[in-house]
Amino acid sequence: MPLLQVRDFPEDVYESLTKVAKEDNRSISQETIVLLRSALNQKEERFFRRRRVLEEIDEMKLGDTDKFPDPVFLIRKDRDR
Give the per-residue pLDDT at 39.
Answer: 94
pTM of the model: 0.61
**Predicted pLDDT of residue 34:** 96
Do 17 and 31 contact (CB within 8 A), yes or no? yes
First-to-last alpha carbon distance for the chain, in angstroms, is 59
CA 16 to each of CA 28, 59, 64: distance values in angstroms, whole numbers, following the listed order = 10, 45, 53
Q: What is the pLDDT of residues 32-59, one digit of tens each?
A: 999 999 999 999 999 999 999 999 988 8
What pLDDT is stored for residue 1 in this prediction? 81
pLDDT score of 80 = 85
CA distances from 1 to 4, 9, 28, 46, 72 (A): 10, 22, 17, 29, 53
